[in-house]
Structure 1
Amino acid sequence: MILSMPYLAHADELRPGYYEVNQQSASIYHIIWKAPLRTGIGPQSIPIFPKDCILKLTSTSQTPQSVIRKWDARCGLTLVGREIGLSNLEASQTDILVRVQLLGRPIESGRLMASRPFMKILADAGPYQIAVDYFYIGVEHILFGFDHLLFVLCLVLLIRRGRSILIAASAFTLSHSITLVGSSLGYMGLAQRPVEAIIALSIIFLAAEIIAAQRGKVHLTSRRPWIVAFIFGLLHGFGFAGALSEIGLPQTDMPLALLSFNVGVEAGQILVILCALLILALIGKFMAKWQDYIVKCCAYIFGGWASYWFFERIFFS
């Protein structure tokens, strides 16, 4: 477990790179490339355009999570029907979200990855691609954003009853949707560093509640788990919003992108809950005498990981 902690320390850092191309005139394009620092891509990756295009770097800036570089490109021919891409994606540990806005055309989006570092700009594109791309980002953020994943798993291990889990999950969904939308639209906001530390603390809290329940202690969390899910869900929503702010949202299709991301988060959450319940059912059927011991071990492991994240985020982020 200890050996795995360095990899999991930045548990909510599954933040895809963001690659935006905006056409300014018949031959001029403005390029923004947000390169996440903790995903193996780094600022050494640069845009790849057709050979008739000349790229000029115009600015470089940095946030705690990414390096932002901007270029201007002058092309002799239209980009329609041709490929754009990024260099050095073989080291990437996550996908790259691409957004292309050509004059007089719908916004086109796509995804780049280590196995597919190029995308072809289509003759016809529309909002459907944005919806699909942000949906997948939402799913990935639950499945590979380990702190959100462990929070959901801890809820399942604490409750272990289908109807109660559904109510708690619905409360979590409602609350993180409020802060996700509000923060993404600029109506509210919290600094990411304390938010991510408290998210880790929420997992520690649930892990402790699981241990207490195993010892026969009935707290409010066990009696009304939806209250705890709702309260901590507000903080997780700020975490989701922080990830989206690093990725970027299309200004003309922001409601669609937010809705698709949120639906993706819920789809990932439901998938995690169903898989966890299935595994618990199998353990209960074939290893019933070991079930409580396995749940207790999981609580200690999850709480240990979250404790590492908490102190790392407080003192070393």
Structure 2
Amino acid sequence: MRLFVKILLTYFLILSGHFLYAHEVRPAFLQIQEQSPNSYAILWKVPRTVDKVLNIQPKFENSFTLSETSPPRILEAFVLYSYQLEGEQSIANTKLSIDQLNSTGTDVLVDIQLLNGEHHSFLLRPTQNSILIPETTNKWNVAKTYVILGIEHILMGFDHLLFVLALVIITTGFKTLLKTITAFTLAHSITLSFSALGIANLPGPPVEAVIALSIVFLALEILKIQKGHSSLTSQKPWIVAFAFGLLHGFGFAGALEEIGLPQNEITLALATFNIGVELGQILFVLVVLVLLRLVQAIPPSKEWTKKLVPYAIGSMAVFWLIERISGF
């Protein structure tokens, strides 16, 4: 029975890891900037894959006219559209919706800047694809939006989750686990903040490759520990978690840069995005601990089955490493 459970978990780990990586879709981004009274520049950023662009489009009330100002620009993960929106009234207190959003699995981050200084940030989702644009700024909307984005990013960032999973497997004792996860949190919060604020930055592709390499390293460490060998990772996992966490923070920063930050609420958005990442991470750790407790309650079987999980983690990470290096 234990063998069956481990094989099933490993099989799910590999398949779900490949699926999440291959099909991760970042949020679309709609920027509305008032240039003159009732005249707005629109930037519409739609996620794309190699062979598909999401068929979604912003829709305004009939009193507004939307016209394209330049041809679409195709980027690596997005298509950029530029429009001009003209109306006889302010966009405040009017309805904004995203056509076909309810048939997708992605969200839309909306950022609106008005001439009177009001600034709005909110998230439209497949289950709620329209909103009445408010008159006054609501900081709670900004905070809620970026908490949700942080949670979604960590739960869809399977490489980060695989790293955390390996840390949980390596660490013994609740205090040590708490210290290790705290070190990882502190480290990636530092580099995420530094990068978002323009203090320090690293190029994305090498960072993503080293993140994959960090997971390979932890998979090998798990195998060493299973053989009874002691190492710095097994004795002081928080040091390794902090060191690699600095790199993972730059990975988070790359995703946040693509999402965008509201320019007059950068601190609030950055702080709440960090909070969202940590909430998602805590949720994942709790689920892993419950699963590990269930597996440990099953009577032991053959010794070699213990190697299934680290081999699955390492194999997935090696696949990512090769793929990311080949993309340089």
TM over 0.5: yes
Separation in 2 of the partners of 1:35 and 1:7? 21
Confirm whether residue 280 of structure 1 aligns to residue 292 of structure 2: yes
Q: Which residue among 212, 218, 231 is the counterpart of 2:230?
A: 218
Confirm whether residue 137 of structure 1 aligns to residue 142 of structure 2: no
Compared CA separation, residues 35 and 27, structure 1 to 2 (3 A): same
**Residue matched to 2:57:** 46
Compared CA separation, residues 5 and 99, structure 1 to 2 (3 A): same
- Unpaired segments of 5 or more residues in structure 2? 1-10
TM score, norm. by length of structure 1: 0.91
Q: Which residue among 21, 26, 40 is the counterpart of 2:37?
A: 26
Q: Which residue among 310, 315, 326 is the counterpart of 1:315?
A: 326
| Contact 1:41-1:92 at 8 Å conserved across structures | no
| Contact 1:55-1:72 at 8 Å conserved across structures | yes
Confirm whether residue 159 of structure 1 aligns to residue 161 of structure 2: no
Separation in 2 of the partners of 1:124 and 1:90? 27
| Contact 2:150-2:277 at 8 Å conserved across structures | yes
**Residue matched to 1:244:** 256
Q: Which residue among 65, 71, 80 is the counterpart of 2:83?
A: 71
Higher mean displacement: 194-203 or 274-283 = 274-283
CA offset digits 1:3-51 (Å, max 9, x no partner): 656534448x552111111222221011111212139982653321111
Alignment of 1:195-274 (within 5 A): 195-274=207-286
Separation in 2 of the partners of 1:106 and 1:40? 38
Q: Secondary structure of the residue that 2:126 maps to in structure 1? A: coil
> Which 4+ runs in 1 deviate beyond 6 A?
291-294
Q: Secondary structure of the residue that 1:24 maps to in structure 2? A: strand
Which residue identity is paired with 2:144?
V
Higher mean displacement: 103-112 or 204-213 = 103-112
Which residue identity is paired with 1:49?
F
Confirm whether residue 174 of structure 1 aligns to residue 186 of structure 2: yes
After TM superposition, give the deviation of residue 182 of structure 1 in Å.
0.9
| Contact 1:214-1:292 at 8 Å conserved across structures | no
**Residue matched to 2:311:** 300
Higher mean displacement: 270-279 or 175-184 = 270-279
Separation in 2 of the partners of 1:85 and 1:189? 35
TM score, norm. by length of structure 2: 0.88
What's the RMSD between the two structures over aligned residues?
2.4
Compared CA separation, residues 195 and 289, structure 1 to 2 (3 A): same
CA offset digits 1:170-225 (Å, max 9, x no partner): 11111111110111111111111111111111111111111111111111111111
Q: Which residue among 86, 101, 104 is the counterpart of 2:113?
A: 101
| Contact 1:213-1:222 at 8 Å conserved across structures | yes
- Unpaired segments of 5 or more residues in structure 1? none
Equivalent pairs, count: 315
Compared CA separation, residues 68 and 82, structure 1 to 2 (3 A): same
